[in-house]
Amino acid sequence: GAVVSQHPSWVICKSGTSVKIECRSLDFQATTMFWYRQFPKQSLMLMATSNEGSKATYEQGVEKDKFLINHASLTLSTLTVTSAHPEDSSFYICSAKAGYNEKLFFGSGTQLSVL
């Protein structure tokens, strides 16, 4: 089946630095990818919809200048957390849809810890 690869699995960074998370569709092309954030014991919260070759669409309350999304190709979307602070510590997950069927596939997630 289709695979979505997310990297890194975990990252620890100092407050004020930027962190980039990559999401790749390994064996299919994804014109649209989705980025989620999940805090402990909570459900996944949709942050933004990433569209290949165009600007991402952010959900209400998500700062687009803080969470930069780039979808430069049909197989790669990146999320950059700029000037990260401890409150940005969370589990970030991407997902993509394979165009040939209705299934949705998720990456394994990235645990971000900001010190």
Partner 1 sequence: DAKTTQPPSMDCAEGRAANLPCNHSTISGNEYVYWYRQIHSQGPQYIIHGLKNNETNEMASLIITEDRKSSTLILPHATLRDTAVYYCIVRVGYSSASKIIFGSGTRLSIRP
Q: CB under 8 A: which stretch of 61-69, 71-79, 82-90, 92-100 binds partner 1?
A: 92-100
Q: Which two tokens stand for residue 60?
A: 């209400």
What type of residue is 63?
Answer: E
Degrees, nearest 5: CA angle 54-107-95: 40
Degrees, nearest 5: CA angle 106-5-38: 45
Distance, CA of 55 to chain centre: 14
- Whether residue 96 contacts residue 33, with contact meaning beta carbons closer than 8 Å, is answered with yes
Asked if 111 is part of the footprint of partner 1 (rule: CB under 8 A), the reply reads yes
Asked if 30 is part of the footprint of partner 1 (rule: CB under 8 A), the reply reads yes
Query: Going residue by residue from 37 to 76, which x/- string records binding to partner 1, judged by CB under 8 A?
Result: ------xxxx--x-x-------------------------
Q: Out of 60, 65, 87, 102, which residue is the one contacting partner 1 (CB under 8 A)? A: 102
Instruction: Using CB under 8 A, count the residues that bind partner 1.
Output: 27
Q: Toward partner 1, which CB reaches closer, 51 or 89?
A: 51
C-alpha span between 15 and 100 (Å, rounded): 42
> Interface residues with partner 1 (CB under 8 A)?
4, 6, 30-32, 34, 36, 43-46, 49, 51, 91, 93, 95, 97, 99, 102-109, 111
